[in-house]
Amino acid sequence: MKILVTGAVGFIGSHAAERLHSLGHEVIGLDNFNDYYSLDLKNLNAKALTQKGIAIIKKDLRDADLAAFLPKDMDYIFHFAAQPGISQSSTFEDYFSNNILATKNLIDYAEGCAHLKLFVNIGTSSIYGLEATFPEDVASKPASHYGVTKLAAEQLVLQKSREALFHACSLRLYSVIGPRERPEKMYTKLIACALNGEAFPLFEGSDKHLRSFTYVDDIVDGIVSVIGKETKVNGEIINLGTEVEHTTKQGIEAVERILNKKIKLNVIPKRPGDQWRTKANIDKAKRLLDYNPQTSLMRSVEQQVQWFKENFK
C-alpha cells in the first residue's frame, strides 16, 4: 500500500512511519520542519527515516497547492501534522492555521486520491477538556486553543465520511511518551534536567495531575491496526492509550529511580488549559481494533532515558 504520513519527522509521526515501512508499505513522509522546537531533533528523526528508505517531502500543509507536490495514488493518509500542546508562546493564529486550515487543505488533496481507502486523523485527549476519562460519545469540552482547533480538524475530516466522499476515522491519543518525545514535553525535560543538574519547571499543583502515560510503540500498535478495517472504523472516533493512571509526581520519581538522581523542582504558575486528569477509556479500541497496550511506565521511561543518552549526552 502507498501511505502518506504528515508530520512524519515529529515524535509520533516518525515512529508510525517506521512501523508502516516495516510492514512492507511504501511510505511518503511530509513535514514543514517548522521551528516550534529545535530542528536538531527533527533532522535526527528525518535521518533515521531516510536511512530506512522512507521518502521525506518538505512541504507546509497550509500551502494550497498540495496536489502539485504529492502523488494522487495514495491508499492511506495518516495525519499527524499539527501545532501541538498548550504553549503560551503559540498564538491562536498558529493553532488555527496549522490545525484547521492545514487539515482542510489536506482534505481537499485527499478528495483527488481516487483509490484512497482511509483518511486517519490523529486527534488528542485534549478535545475532551480538563478531564479526559470518557468514552468517545461524550460531549467534548476543550479548554485550550489546541483542543478547540483539534476538535474542529477532527470534524472536518469526519464530515467527509458523513458525506460518503471517503472513509475516515479519528484516533484520540493519550499522553504519549518514549524516544523522540519533544524537548518541551515532560519526560524529555525531566531527563535533561536530571543529567544536567538543572531545576525542572513544575507547574503549580501539576504534581497531583493524573495521566495515562502511554508508550509510543503501544500507541503505534493501535494506529496501524486500522489498516484493513476501513469499513469497521469509518466515521468512528477511537481513544488510544493505557487505562493505567500515574500522577506527575510518580513520573518524576520514575526518572529519579532510573537515573539514580534527585531532580530539583522549580514551581511556576499554573498553565491555563492544562488537563488535571486523563485516563483512556479504550473499550471501543478493544472491540474494533483488538487494542491491548502493555508497556509499563518504568519500561517506557527506561527506553526514553536510553534514547536520550545515546543522542544528547
Element (H, E) at 102: helix 102-110
Smallest CA-to-CA distance from 210 within 143, 125, 295 is with: 125
Query: Distance between CA 207 and CA 251 in Å, rounded?
Result: 9
Crossing angle of helices 297-312 and 186-196, in 10° steps, is 60
146 is catalytic: yes
What are the cell numbers at 257? Answer: 529511580
CB distance 83 to 90 below 8 Å: yes
Could you say which of 76, 128, 146, 291 is catalytic?
Answer: 146
Element (H, E) at 118: strand 118-124
Query: Distance between CA 63 and CA 47 in Å, rounded?
Result: 25
Smallest CA-to-CA distance from 294 within 250, 231, 242 is with: 242
Q: Which long-range contacts (CB under 8 A, 24 or more apart) does 266-270 make?
A: 266/199, 266/200, 266/201, 266/202, 267/202, 267/203, 267/204, 268/201, 268/202, 268/203, 268/204, 269/203, 269/204, 270/203, 270/204, 270/205, 270/206
Query: Distance between CA 275 and CA 146 in Å, rounded?
Result: 12
Longest dimension (CA), the chain: 56
CB distance 241 to 216 below 8 Å: no
CB distance 153 to 160 below 8 Å: no
Catalytic residues: 146
